[in-house]
Amino acid sequence: MNQKAIGIFDSGVGGLTVLRQIKRELPDESVVYFGDTARVPYGSKSAKTIERYCIENAIFLLEKNIKMLVVACNTASAYGINKLRRLFNIPVVGVIHPGAKAAVAVTKNKRIAVLATRATVASEVYPKAIHSIDPSIEVISQACPLLVPMIEERMGNHPAAALMIEEYLQRVKEKACDTILLGCTHYPLLHDEIKKALHPSVFIVDSATTCSKEVKEVLLELGLENRKGSSAETRYFVSDDPEKFRETGERFLNTPITEVLLEGIH
Amino acid sequence: MNQKAIGIFDSGVGGLTVLRQIKRELPDESVVYFGDTARVPYGSKSAKTIERYCIENAIFLLEKNIKMLVVACNTASAYGINKLRRLFNIPVVGVIHPGAKAAVAVTKNKRIAVLATRATVASEVYPKAIHSIDPSIEVISQACPLLVPMIEERMGNHPAAALMIEEYLQRVKEKACDTILLGCTHYPLLHDEIKKALHPSVFIVDSATTCSKEVKEVLLELGLENRKGSSAETRYFVSDDPEKFRETGERFLNTPITEVLLEGIH
Is it the case that residue B243 has pLDDT exceeding 90?
A: yes
Closest in A145, A160, A240 to B160, CB measured: A160
Tens digits of per-residue pLDDT, B96-119?
A: 999 999 999 999 999 999 999 988
Once rounded to an integer, what is the mean pLDDT over residues B161-178? 97
DSSP code of B184? S
Residue B164: list chain A partners with CB under 8 A.
Answer: 155, 158, 160
Residue A155: list chain B partners with CB under 8 A.
Answer: 146, 164
In this prediction, residue B231 carries a pLDDT of 77
> What is the end-to-end Cα distance of chain A in Å, rounded?
34
Once rounded to an integer, what is the mean pLDDT over residues B248-264? 92
Phi and psi dihedrals of B114, rounded to 5? -110, 120
A160 touches chain B (CB under 8 A): yes
Residue B1 confidence class, pLDDT cut points 50, 70, 90:
low
CATH class, domain A5-94+210-262, is alpha beta
How buried is B201 (Cβ within 10 angstroms: 0-12 exposed, 13-18 middle, 19+ buried)? Answer: exposed
A62 touches chain B (CB under 8 A): no
In this prediction, residue B228 carries a pLDDT of 72
Closest in A46, A159, A163 to B241, CB measured: A46
Tens digits of per-residue pLDDT, A84-102?
A: 999 999 999 999 999 999 9
Is it the case that residue B45 has pLDDT exceeding 90?
A: no
Q: Are A66 and A34 in contact (CB under 8 A)?
A: no
Closest in B145, B159, B240 to A163, CB measured: B159
Q: Edge-to-edge strand order for the sheet containing A138-143?
A: A138-143, A111-116, A179-182, A203-206
Percentage of chain B with pLDDT > 90? 88
Percentage of chain B with pLDDT > 70? 98
Is it the case that residue A1 has pLDDT exceeding 70?
A: no
Distance, CA of A10 to CA of A4 (rounded, Å)? 20
CB contact set of B137 (below 8 Å; sequence gap of 6+): B104, B107, B110, B111, B112, B130, B131
- One-letter-per-residue 3-state SS of chain A: CCCCEEEEEECCCCCHHHHHHHHHHCCCCCEEEEECCCCCCCCCCCHHHHHHHHHHHHHHHHCCCEEEEEECCHHHHHHHHHHHHHHCCCCEECCHHHHHHHHHHHCCCCEEEEEECHHHHHHCHHHHHHHHHCCCCEEEEEECCCHHHHHHCCCCCCHHHHHHHHHHHHHHHHCCCCEEEECCCCHHHHHHHHHHCCCCCCEEEEHHHHHHHHHHHHHHHCCCCCCCHHHCCEEEEECCCHHHHHHHHHHHHCCCCCCEEECCCC
Chain centre distance of CA B40: 14
Q: What type of residue is A114?
A: V
Tens digits of per-residue pLDDT, B73-89?
A: 999 999 999 999 999 99
In this prediction, residue A44 carries a pLDDT of 79
ipTM of this predicted complex?
A: 0.81
Percentage of chain A with pLDDT > 90? 88
- One-letter-per-residue 3-state SS of B51-74: HHHHHHHHHHHHCCCEEEEEECCH
Is it the case that residue B190 has pLDDT exceeding 60?
A: yes
- Annotated active-site residue A177? The verdict is no
B38 touches chain A (CB under 8 A): yes
Q: Are B96 and B64 in contact (CB under 8 A)?
A: no
Phi and psi dihedrals of B127, rounded to 5? -55, -45
Residue B52: list chain A partners with CB under 8 A.
Answer: 266
Domains B5-94+210-262 and B96-207 are alike in CATH topology: yes
Closest to A141 (Cα-Cα) out of A152, A156, A154, A125: A125
Q: Edge-to-edge strand order for the sheet containing B234-238?
A: B92-93, B66-71, B5-10, B31-35, B234-238, B260-262
In this prediction, residue A242 carries a pLDDT of 95
> Considering chain B, what is the average pLDDT of its residues?
94
Q: Are A151 and A122 in contact (CB under 8 A)?
A: no
Question: Which of B36, B123, B241, B243 should we substitute to test contact with A (largest number of A Cβ atoms within 10 Å)?
Answer: B241
- Please report the number of interchain residue pairs, chain A to chain B, with beta-carbon separation below 8 angstroms: 71
Q: Which CATH architecture has domain A96-207?
A: 3-Layer(aba) Sandwich (3.40)
Distance, CA of A221 to CA of A215 (rounded, Å)? 10
Contact call for B167 and A158, based on CB within 8 A? yes
Question: What are the domain boundaries of chain B?
Answer: 5-94+210-262, 96-207
Closest to A257 (Cα-Cα) out of A244, A266, A265, A65: A244
